[in-house]
Amino acid sequence: METRNILYYIFSVVRILLYPVALLYGAIVWLRNRLYDVKFFNSIEFSVPVITIGNLSTGGTGKTPHVEYLIRLLQYRFKVATMSRGYKRHTQGFILADAHTNALRIGDEPMQYFLKFPELAVSVAEERMTGIPALLQRRPDIDVILLDDAYQHRSVRAGLNILITDYAKPFYKDHILPFGNLRESRSSSKRANIIVVSKCPPALKPAEADAIVKAIAPLPHQQVFFTCIHYTMPYNLLTREPVMIGGKNIILVCGIARPEPLIAFLKANAADVHSLTYSDHHYFVSTDLEEIHEAYNNWNVQDKIIVTTDKDAARLYLHLEKLQAWGITIAVLPIEVKVMFDKGPEFDAAVMAYTEKTVLENIEIFGPKI
């Protein structure tokens, strides 16, 4: 029997053995959600609009660029704040980002927001229920809060729940942990106001999108949108100036969940690509920097640069002085999401309608903010 067949067989057996554990875990999660539904457990509602962006799976659905989309949509009308758990940060409790903040203190994704949006109030807290009051005490001018990866945090009653699901592995084809990758059952999608199918092929056909909507079976109050990612103008990590990467020899440095689409994009636009990939949310240490520097120095080609992602850039900033000493161009390749099938205005209108309505209602109740 081939090695691949043996591994597939072992994996299949392990999945079957884990099924009873998944049933037990699913029952516990169902009971917890049911107790929130019947108001045995209380959910707190706050005096500002709260928008949750999350998923049912354990990750990799592309939440971060969707959060950035919402920031761009809202920031010119409202004072916006984000609140994340701060995955893999080296601190605990509530933190509001300031001039002394780095990725170790708040996590790489919040640091990414902080670097890209200077007017944004970026905060982290494991418990959003206590983190939001702490944020509003420090920043009473905040108009709207975006809760990043908080779909399961039912102790906070969000006014708008946005559920992200990956086109390649939608929640309706997945199973609950540890048999699959879902943190809670498929039926939990019913709590969402908006369901976004992310990372779609740019050439997705309307007929296939219709079939996906049929499989999701949205409730009357739910809207379904499709998004794809596109790469925007690269910029120099150290100077923030635009960088052209087309036709260059690229050393890709990345620690993200699924680097394959990025590698494919670079190979289609570069002369050659040499990849140094690390685990998702990997914090670079001295040996990693030595590996990157040696790979650059030992590659005997002209017109070479280092390329990394927004999320990796947030962690590379921890070694800013060393990177500056290299004298090497390090380009950051950002991604953004595009709402497909000309539904961008409809998506924007749904988000803005909730935010504007709630802000006006709060002004009537509490008066204008000073």
Task: Find how far residue 369's CA is from the centre of its chain.
Answer: 31
- pLDDT confidence of residue 3: 52
Distance CA 91, CA 105 (A): 6
Residue 79 has pLDDT above 90, yes or no: yes
Please, are residues 103 and 157 in contact by the beta-carbon 8 Å criterion? no
Q: 120-159 pLDDT, tens per residue?
A: 999 999 999 999 999 999 999 999 999 999 999 899 999 9
**Cα–Cα distance measured from residue 123 to residue 136, given in angstroms and rounded to the nearest whole number:** 11
Q: What percent of the chain has pLDDT over 70?
A: 95
- The pLDDT confidence band at residue 302, using thresholds 50, 70 and 90, is very high
Task: From 50, 22, 41, select the one nearest 358 (Cα to Cα).
Answer: 50
How many Å apart are CA 192 and CA 53, to the nearest integer? 10
Q: Given a cut of 50, is residue 97 above it in pLDDT?
A: yes
Q: What's the pLDDT at 15? A: 67
Tokens for 43, please give them.
């959910």
**Least-confidence region, from 24-28, 53-57, 338-342:** 24-28
Q: How confident is the model at residue 40 (pLDDT cuts 50, 70, 90)?
A: confident
pLDDT by residue (tens digit) across 238-250? 999 999 999 999 9
pLDDT value, residue 80: 98
Cα angle: 288, vertex 292, 296; to 5 degrees? 165
Residue range 173-182: mean pLDDT, rounded = 88
State yes or no: pLDDT of 268 exceeds 90: yes
Q: What is the pLDDT of residue 247?
A: 93
Q: How far lies 122's CA from each of 98, 116, 148, 249, 314, in Å?
A: 9, 11, 11, 36, 14
Residue 26 binned pLDDT confidence (cut-offs 50, 70, 90): confident
Q: Is residue 2 over pLDDT 60?
A: no
pLDDT for residue 206? 97
pLDDT bin (cut points 50, 70, 90) of residue 257 is confident
pLDDT over 60 at 58, yes or no: yes
- Residues forming beta bridges with residue 257, ordered by sequence position: none
Residue 119 pLDDT > 90, yes or no? yes
pLDDT of residue 203: 95
Instruction: Please tell me the pTM assigned to this model.
Output: 0.91
Query: What contacts 95, CB < 8 A, 6 or more positions away?
Result: 86, 101, 105, 106, 123, 124, 125
Over residues 32-50, mean pLDDT = 89
Where do we find the tokens 């699924």?
258
pLDDT of residue 258: 81
Residue-level length of the chain: 370
What end-to-end distance do the CA atoms of the chain give, in Å? 73
Say if CB 160 and CB 52 are below 8 A apart: yes
Pairwise CA distance, residues 70 & 89, whole Å: 24
128 touches 153 (CB < 8 A): yes
pLDDT of 5 higher than 70: no
How does residue 171 score in pLDDT terms, banded at 50, 70 and 90? very high
Q: What is the pLDDT of residues 333-365, one digit of tens each?
A: 999 999 999 999 999 999 999 999 998 887 777
Q: Alpha helices, DSSP H only, in the chain?
A: 3-37, 63-74, 103-106, 108-116, 128-138, 206-216, 260-269, 286-298, 310-316, 320-326, 344-366
Which band of pLDDT confidence, cut at 50, 70 and 90, is reported for residue 1?
A: very low
